[in-house]
Amino acid sequence: MGQRMSIAEYRKVKRKPSKYRNKKVKVDGYEFDSIAESKYYQQLKWLQECKEIASFRLQPRYLLQEAFKKGAKTHRKIEYIADFEIHHKDGSIEVVDVKGVKTDVFRMKEKMFHKRYSHKLSIVGYKNGKFEEL
């Protein structure tokens, strides 16, 4: 059997970098998956303080497909967890995802979201110090 590592040894072990090289960031007690996502959160806070938007939510969940059973197999529901949901002053809702790249799985969920929901879906990236729609 292998030896157990001490806590000090465990902390020294290099952790594998994230798949997309994102660095997790904590702001106001929330943990964000990337620096860009944390900057977008701070921008939304500022917009809300300046009364440019009514409100916003973090990590809203959207049901894309209900769970179902086929034969003996049960299939789990499919959900899309966005980064932000913005409630504009005119009553409209915008769903925002901060991304570096659109993966194949995301592209599929994006289509399913558009079929089921009428909200605007914005995919933004952070380049050269500003957010751009992808």
Question: Higher-confidence residue: 84 or 20?
Answer: 84
Check whether 14 has a pLDDT greater than 70: no
How far is Cα 89 from Cα 50, in angstroms, rounded to an integer? 12
Tell me what the pLDDT averaged over the chain comes to. 89
pLDDT tens track for 25-67: 999 999 999 999 999 999 999 999 999 999 999 999 999 999 9
Mean pLDDT of 113-120: 98
Domain ranges across the chain: 54-133
Asked if 23 contacts 55 with a C-beta cutoff of 8 angstroms, the reply is: no
Local confidence band at 100 (pLDDT 50, 70, 90 cut-offs): confident
Mean pLDDT of 117-134: 93
pLDDT at position 23, please? 84
Give the predicted TM-score (pTM) of the model.
0.80
